[in-house]
Copies of this chain bind each other. A is one copy, B any other.
């Protein structure tokens, strides 16, 4: 059966498994003090263009968001996010469980708007009662967003400018960062992104690794971040597991070629849907596509191809999600095309 449910249906890119096997008997220190992690940190510093960036390897996205946010906020502060932001919806309250409120602003196809952000901050401090409210303490955004959309460089610069004016750290959730950077719709480079924010992470789990997210602090990490990571249960004893994976991902541009493959396949999907007259919910330039299918179409695909139901529309149709990854091959797209072909005739 074809499977486009998500970008984590397979294991890891084969080069990662190969390297895990090659290095398996080398004895190394734990907790990220191993030579592989050191090498991976160096490669990432080179890729982001900041020679003295602090880099940490955590295990998963929710964990990374909770840990970074907890490390950056004071107790009386909250984190600003779009209403559709992953931390606001799909992280089981991890941010709140560490004591912080998620302060939500409207979502524009998954994105925050710099103007709205600025007005929110102006209004907040214009309200005499602000000391009775949660202080905005940082800004969180996802790149790409949960809807597969991208901020333009200009949009990011505008948000960064507001953040600077209000001295708010800017945190970019890059669970699918590669797919953003590899998109034709992206006009910002990784080093430019690194300049633009205070902390971001380079997602591994959804971009070819078994697990792992690389947190980058271009201007340096908060004090004792290692201990904060440990406290959040995010420190691997065998730190080599994430170290080796990121070392491979950032060797010979693998992270980027994986991402390009996925985006290329996604664009083929998109073309296919449009060709078949299937509307798209959002014009996504990255590895997630959101075709709107009728109940009949969904039924026809049942048992032949897997995908996610994203949202039910009032008219009975469904927004669905088709995702691609390093492991999506042209053959799969061709097979889907065939299915949609039959389907057209029926």
Contacts and interface: CB of A to CB of B under 8 A. Distances in A.
Contact of A75 (B20, B29, B228): B228
A76 B210 CA distance: 27
Given A17-B17, A59-B59, A238 B78 contact: no
A210 B238 contact: yes
Interface string A146-164: 0000000000000000000
Given A60-B236, A206-B237, A230 B94 contact: yes
A82 interface: no
B133 A90 contact: yes
Interface in A220-276: 223-224, 226-228, 230-238, 240-241
Given A211-B236, A230-B62, A133 B309 contact: no
A97 B78 contact: no
Given A75-B71, A98-B97, A27 B9 contact: yes
B30 A6 contact: yes
A26 to B, nearest CB: 7
A177 to B, nearest CB: 15
Interface string A112-143: 00000000000000001101111100000000
B233 A234 contact: yes
A114 B344 CA distance: 43
Contact of A90 (B63, B78, B129): B129
Interface string A64-84: 101100110011101000000
Contacts of A67: 233
A94 to B, nearest CB: 5
A230 to B, nearest CB: 4
A215 B162 CA distance: 36
A27 to B, nearest CB: 4
A24 interface: yes
A100 B96 contact: yes
A327 interface: yes
B241 A210 contact: yes
Contact of A131 (B11, B66, B224): B224
A98 B98 CA distance: 7
Nearest to A4: B27
A235 B62 contact: yes
B20 A5 contact: no
Given A25-B10, A237-B60, A94 B232 contact: yes
A238 B211 contact: yes
A91 B234 CA distance: 11
Interface in A1-56: 1, 3, 5-6, 8-12, 14, 17, 20-21, 23-31
Interface of A: 1, 3, 5-6, 8-12, 14, 17, 20-21, 23-31, 59-64, 66-67, 70-71, 74-76, 78, 89-94, 96-102, 128-129, 131-135, 205-206, 210-211, 223-224, 226-228, 230-238, 240-241, 306, 309, 327
